[in-house]
A and B are shown apart, each in its own frame.
Chain A
Amino acid sequence: MKYAFYPGCSSHSTEKEYEDSTKAICKVLDIELVEVPDWNCCGAIDAVYSFKPLYSIALAARNLAITKKMQMDMVTPCSACYFTLNRTNKILREDAGTKSKVNEALANIGFNYNGSVRVWHLADILLSDIVLQKIKEKVKIQLTNLNVASYYGCYLVRPPKICNFDDPEHPTRLDNLVETIGASKVDYYGKTRCCGALLGITDEELALKMSKDILLSAKNSGANCLATACPVCHFNLDARQKDIESRFDIKINLPVLHFTQLVGLAFGIEPKQLGLQRNCVSPRKIYPLTMTSVS
């Protein structure tokens, strides 16, 4: 299998470990990822769209136009990019007026695009029947000591007309993955609640409270680690966890892993190669027993 890989700005910089672990497990699974050459920011949900809507659509369309030339489906590990790129596809397919305006701008830099490239979320690829079977075969260490709360967040499942990874109210596909690698799934209240996303920058107080509710509900339901599928969610739940603890005067200390890091651990890949040393809440206590003796 071969896909055009669009990492997105977050997975490429602050959350580099997500990109690293993605590449590491895809190598094991024989999925070839070809990075989209000279890709640019997709417009990040509402960040650019609220300021210059047409410009933000053109930004996303440029990435898709490059991918069209590659003649491959696109895959992105970032839920926010997944939403933004698919929204762009939908707008360009349905709104002829916007399409012609955007294409005029794209023509300026030698591109043309009509909304034809299929955009997948990385989780969608890894959870297809064939790949899931392959994951099952490649698991070296069963992560039986883990109770994993899978966190879907917003853009993996909502809005269902654009992001149809799973049921928007009660998704279960990531839980299947968790069980495939030998861990137990945890059902909890916050799995599709919003983490605050970009509000973390403009209204931190608000975002901290939203993330706190998710972390506490997972912890109180018996989880000893949380798996995310989006770099923005991971930043809010992991890097800001210390801030949440000091702001609300509570102890959480719940390791938050990218779901690719969990799969990597089950494959027996070195924690360092998965970038686990970069997670702000140390995941050391949840390493499989065979590994703790190694590292």
Chain B
Amino acid sequence: MSHEKDKLTAEAKTIQIGVRKKSRRDFIKEVMKMPGGEKILECIQCGSCAGGCPTMFAMDYSPMQIIKMINLGMKEKVLSSSTIWVCSACYTCATRCPRNVNFPTLMMSLRNKTIRENLVKDCAKSDFHKYFFEVVNKYGRFHEPELLVKFLDMTNFDSLLHNARLGLRLFKRGKLQLRAPKIETSWVCSILEKTDQKESQ
């Protein structure tokens, strides 16, 4: 019963904020179904999220702006913003939000959407998720050196030198585990196969 009521208020709010175009309305509805997007229409634009965000200086739109833009159905701008990739998922905003908007989880869901729909502009950041997945899928556990090597920019001498220094420092302290982790990984593929089927449903 209360679920029905929630749905109605949500619909009413959608009309209230003047979003009449179908494509825009569809985007809002889609986001509301994602993990983290359930409460976006409740946002009162108080700015608690933006005030506490430790990475806001590197974002093109603040968390509060992104929520407003979603509520206005601005799909392209939201999905191409740097905000969704810069969020470090520290959950300061979600902890302080008086309306319980789960912003970091929503950012993860939006990343997933941009990756699935091939809308990624900044490849380095989305590649991280892909590589991380590949490494875990190969060994069952995370193996740092393999991921870091994939991220090396062979054309940039400064960055190579910088990473070599970090690597050397870790190596000297015995922190660089070059040997890959070994666990029983045959199960990994079977989980992947099953979840992949389900994910596309």
Point out residues on A near B: beta carbons under 8 Å.
9-10, 12-16, 38-41, 43-55, 58-59, 62, 101-102, 104-106, 108-109, 154-155, 158-160, 168-169, 192-194, 196-199, 201-203, 206, 210, 239-240, 242-243, 277-280
What chain B residues lie within 8 Å of A50 (beta carbons)? Answer: 108, 111-112, 115, 129
Residues of A near B130 (CB, < 8 A) are: 51
Q: Total interface residues on B, using CB and 8 Å?
A: 62
Beta-carbon contact of A14 and B133 below 8 Å: no
Contact: B198 with A54, CB < 8 Å? yes
With A104-B194, A210-B55, A242-B169 already in contact, the answer to whether A51 and B133 are too (CB < 8 A) is yes
**Mostly helix, strand, loop or mixed at chain A's interface?**
loop
Contact call A158/B108, Cβ cutoff below 8 A: no
Closest to B140 in A: A40
Interface residues of B (CB under 8 A from A): 35, 54-55, 58, 85-86, 88-92, 94-95, 102, 104, 107-109, 111-112, 115, 124-125, 128-130, 132-133, 136, 140-144, 147-148, 151, 162, 165-166, 169-170, 173-177, 181, 183-185, 187-188, 190-196, 198-199
- The smallest C-beta distance from A118 to any residue of chain B, in angstroms, reads 21
Kindly state the separation between the CA atoms of A158 and B188 in the bound complex, as whole angstroms: 30
Which residue of A41, A50, A55 has the most chain B CB atoms within 10 A of its CB atom? Answer: A50
- Which of A58, A109, A196, A201 is within 8 Å of B148, CB to CB? A201
Question: Which residues of chain A have C-beta atoms less than 8 A from B111's C-beta?
Answer: 46, 50
Q: Would A48 and B199 count as touching, CB distance under 8 A?
A: no
A193 to B56, CA, bound (A): 13
Q: Report the separation of the CA atoms of residues A39 and B140 in the bound assembly, to the nearest whole angstrom.
A: 8
Residue from B92, B128, B147, B183 in contact with A38 in the complex, judged by beta carbons closer than 8 Å: B183
Query: Which residue of B141, B162, B199 contacts A52 across the interface (Cβ within 8 Å)?
Result: B199
Partner of A202, one of B107, B128, B166, B188: B128
| CB-based closest 7 A-B pairs | A194-B90, A105-B194, A9-B142, A51-B129, A158-B91, A50-B111, A109-B187
Consensus secondary structure, chain B interface: helix
Give A27 to B108 CA distance when docked, in angstroms.
39
Are B92 and A194 closer than 8 Å at their CB atoms? yes
A51 to B131, CA, bound (A): 10
User: Bound complex: CA of A282 vs CA of B166, how far in Å?
Assistant: 16
Partner of A40, one of B86, B141, B144: B141
In the complex, the answer to whether B125 meets A14 with C-beta atoms within 8 Å is no
Tell whether, in the assembled complex, residue A278 and residue B174 are in contact, meaning their CB atoms are under 8 Å apart.
Answer: yes
Contacts of B175 in A (CB 8 A): 14-16, 239, 278, 280
What's the Cα separation between A273 and B190 when bound, in Å? Answer: 40
Known contacts A51-B133, A197-B89: A279-B173 contact under CB 8 Å: yes
Q: Given the complex, which residues of A lie within 8 Å of B151, measured CB to CB? A: 201-202
Which of B88, B91, B144, B181 contacts A159, CB < 8 Å?
Answer: B91
